[in-house]
Amino acid sequence: YATEEQKHRWLPRLAAGTLVPALAMTEPGQGSDLQSVETYAVSDGDGLRINGAKTFITNGQTANLVCLVVKTEKEAGARGVSLVMVETEEVEGFRRGRNLEKVGLKGQDTSELFFDEMRVPRANLLGLEEGQGFYQLMNQLPWERLVIGIGALGHMDFALDQTLAYVKERQAFGRAVFDFQNTRFKLAEQKTKAEVTRAFVNHCIELLRDGQLDATTASMAKWWGSQMQCEVIDECLQLFGGYGYMLEYPIARAWADARVQKIYGGTNEIMKELIARSL
C-alpha cells in the first residue's frame, strides 16, 4: 500500500535490519474491534498530531518503525481509520512503556506505546490516503491467519517429536512409557489431529497461492490450527508427568507459547463468528 517513495525510504532498511518494524493496533480498551480505536490523529500543517496509547505491541521495545493504527475521522467508523508510519527516532512525543511479562513467547518483547502530541509528517501516511487503514488491514488478515495455522502445525510436529522420544526412553513400572496402551492411544489421537490439520493447511496454502483464500477459510485455518495446537501440546505435556511442567523442558515452553495462538490475530471466538456469517 506504500507509495514508491515510501518503499524506497523504508524497504531497503527493513531488509538490512537497520529498521525494526512493529504493528500497533491493540489499545488498552480495544482489541478485535479495530473500528473503535481511540488513538487520534489531527491535521497540523503539513503533518499529523497524534495522541493515544497502544498495548501488547510485538517488538515494542526495539522497533524504530511503527505502523500505527489511528482514527483520522472520529465518527466515520471503518472509513475513519488510517495507517501512519512512525519513525520513532525522528519524532518527539513518542514513549515506550513497560516490557510486558507474558506467560509464553519469552523470546520477543511485547510493550505498551504512548503518543503525546506526537507530530508526524503527512508524507508518513501509508499510501498517502486517509481512511484506508481498516481496509488495508482487513485485506491482509487472511494471510496473517493462515500463518498462525501454519505455525500451529509446526508446533504440533515439534511436540509430538519431543514426546515420542521421551516416552520411548522413560521407564515406569519396569517398561517404557510408550508401551502402555494409554500412551499409544493418546499419541495416535494427537498424530491424527496433526495430520488432519496438515491436509487443511496445505489446502489453504494452495488457495493463497492462487489468490483464492477468502476470509472465511482463513478463519477456519486459524481457529482449527490453534485449537488443535493447544489440545495436542497439552496431551503431550501430560505424558511427561511432572517434568512436563518444568520450564527447562521444551514441552513446557511449547505449552506456554501455544495459549496465545487462540487470542492474537483475532480471537477464536471472533473466527467462529466470521465463519458463521458465511453459512
pLDDT digits (tens, 9 = 90+) for 60-108: 999 999 999 999 998 888 899 999 999 999 899 999 999 999 999 999 9
Could you give the CA distance from residue 149 to residue 75 in angstroms, rounded to a whole number? 35
* Residue finishing a domain among 130, 160, 180: 130
Q: Is the pTM of this model over 0.85?
A: yes
Is residue 226 over pLDDT 90? yes
Are 17 and 149 in a shared domain?
A: no
Are 273 and 140 in a shared domain?
A: yes
Domain that holds residue 234: 135-277
Q: Which residue has the higher pLDDT, 75 or 198?
A: 198
* Residue finishing a domain among 73, 103, 130: 130
Q: What amino acid positions are annotated as catalytic residues?
A: 144
User: What is the Cα gyration radius of the chain?
Assistant: 22
Are 83 and 141 in a shared domain?
A: no
Are 100 and 143 in a shared domain?
A: no
Q: Is 224 left (phi over 0), alpha (psi -120 to 50) or beta?
A: alpha
Residue pLDDT, tens place only, 129-159: 999 999 999 999 999 999 999 999 999 999 9
Could you give the CA distance from residue 152 to residue 253 in angstroms, rounded to a whole number? 14
What SS3 class is residue 134? helix
Contact assessment for residue 163 and residue 240, using Cβ atoms and an 8 Å cutoff? yes
- Number of domains into which the chain is organized: 2
